[in-house]
Amino acid sequence: MDAAFDPGYAIYERVFEAVRMTSVLNALSEAAIARSKAGARHVLSVSIVRELALDRRLIEIATRFVGDGAAPYRATLFDKSSASNWLVGWHQDTALPLRARRESSGWGPWSVKAGITYAHAPASALERVIALRVHLDDSTLTNGPLRVLPDTHTLGVLSDDRMQELAARVQPVSCVAAAGGVVAMRPLTVHASSKATDDQPRRVLHIEYAASIRVGENLVLAEA
């Protein structure tokens, strides 16, 4: 992706047919995954999710952002509905799953989620990651879509106060797309999600790709 034309996100309409998204939803409803109020973590092991993540269309989009060799390493299902209506304030995605804990400058704090080791990563590692959000339902202005602050991915890892200051002066963009559309987002892009104001579900597969599974000295991404 040419940095001169990269605001930290991009919207791709009609990447997949809506009928395929229905098939993914049906398979996920039957899959043995641990669900929370907001969806489910660590779903890349579900066969239909892995198949989708390896689809050439997604690999081609990921390659535009992180270069050749882009490969999926984590997938998360976000499930927002009238029965599970949640919001997320302005933030960056800075934690990466790792195969093992290896103390390294710029990494941490560390944590363990569902048996997987995580560390907050430095900007140098996060710049080589892209998230592709595959819309399983239509995302609209009223069902709590992703909102981003353009160009904030160039500012590095930010404090909470700095993100709030940016949110007060940068015009946010709502990233809406029909079922089958894809929103690409760099993890350092400051983003948020409001509660839905209607009953239309908004289910998204958030699939993350990296230029390399080696993200630091003796640090290797875990599949999640």
What confidence score (pLDDT) does residue 34 get? Answer: 87
Going by pLDDT thresholds of 50, 70 and 90, the confidence category of residue 4 is low
Res. 2: pLDDT tops 80: no
Percent of the chain predicted with pLDDT > 70: 98
- Residues 139-198 have pLDDT tens digits of 999 999 999 999 999 999 999 999 999 999 999 999 999 999 999 999 999 999 989 999
Task: Determine the Cα–Cα distance for residues 52 and 93; give it in Å rounded to an integer.
Answer: 22
Tell me whether residue 51 is exposed, middle or buried, using C-beta atoms within 10 angstroms of its C-beta: 0 to 12, 13 to 18, 19 or more.
Answer: exposed
Name the one residue in this structure whose structure tokens are 């939803």: 25
Q: What is the DSSP string of the chain?
A: --GGG--SEEEE-SSS-HHHHHHHHHHHHHS---EETTEES--TTSHHHHHHHT-HHHHHHHHHHH-TT-EEEEEEEEEE-SSS---EEEE---EEEESS----TT---EEEETTEEEEEPPHHHHTTEEEEEEESS---TTS--EEE-TTGGGG-S--HHHHHHHHHHSPPEEE---TT-EEEE-TTS-EEEPPPSSS--EEEEEEEEES-SEEETTEEBPP-
| Measured CA angle at 87 (ends 166, 145), to 5 deg | 80
* Average pLDDT of the residues in 40-68: 97
Average pLDDT of the chain?
Answer: 95
The domain ranges of the chain are 3-220
What confidence score (pLDDT) does residue 81 get? Answer: 85
Radius of gyration of the CA atoms of the chain, in A:
17
Going by pLDDT thresholds of 50, 70 and 90, the confidence category of residue 70 is very high
The residue among 67, 69, 18, 45 whose CA lies nearest residue 180 is 18
Would you state the structure tokens that stand for residue 53, as one six-digit string?
């993540």
- Residues 184-203 have pLDDT tens digits of 999 999 999 989 999 999 99
Res. 95: pLDDT tops 80: yes
The residue among 71, 62, 124 whose CA lies nearest residue 94 is 124
Predicted TM-score (pTM) of the model is 0.96
Domain range 3-220, CATH architecture: Sandwich (2.60)
What confidence score (pLDDT) does residue 78 get? Answer: 96
Going by pLDDT thresholds of 50, 70 and 90, the confidence category of residue 1 is low
Beta-carbon contacts of residue 12 (< 8 Å; ≥ 6 apart): 61, 177, 181, 182, 183, 184
